[in-house]
Structure 1
């Protein structure tokens, strides 16, 4: 059974990956993927994301989380599950 999830890239994250989105899989030996491991996997796949993650925020199913996987609204720890949508959102700039 596929354990896929979707990653969406915005602004400089899109530039670093040359993609708007991609479908990734949770490893076969895991049920979920911790956010720190997700970040390591993404930066290994797309080295340009390392600089982006210095200031980017993540959203899992429209819920903002820090790089440890803690929700910014409520503090609950979350991990990526099959079917989830993860967004990599760099800071907005401009005037």
Structure 2
């Protein structure tokens, strides 16, 4: 039975520029309560919430962090609610 969870999102660099905010809370519908919400599905939810910018390009090359831990494979991570999820685009410097 579907239920809702809330997560906090943090946007850095190009993700911040694309949507004009550094953070937001997001409510997600979870279809499988035992597993949680797949992190790999989060980009689609964010894009639906923030259409009409270049956020899709940013998310294609970004990495994810959950509770300050970098995620190697978003397909292996399921959100249970209460997590802080960061979108971390590649940065260049010199």
TM-score range, shorter chain: 0.7 to 0.9
Q: How many residues align?
A: 88
Partner deviation per Cα, 1:26-57 (whole Å, 9 max, x = no partner): 21655321112111111122233201012110
Among 48, 52, 63, the residue aligned to 1:57 = 63
1:28–1:35 distance in 2 versus 1, CA, 3 Å: closer
CA separation in 1, counterparts of 2:32 and 2:23?
Answer: 23
Question: Structure 2, unaligned stretches of length 5 or more?
Answer: none
Calculate the TM-score normalised by the size of structure 1.
0.78
Question: Structure 1, unaligned stretches of length 5 or more?
Answer: 71-76
RMSD between aligned alpha carbons? 2.0
1:28–1:34 distance in 2 versus 1, CA, 3 Å: closer
Moved >6 Å (runs of 4+) = none
Calculate the TM-score normalised by the size of structure 2.
0.79
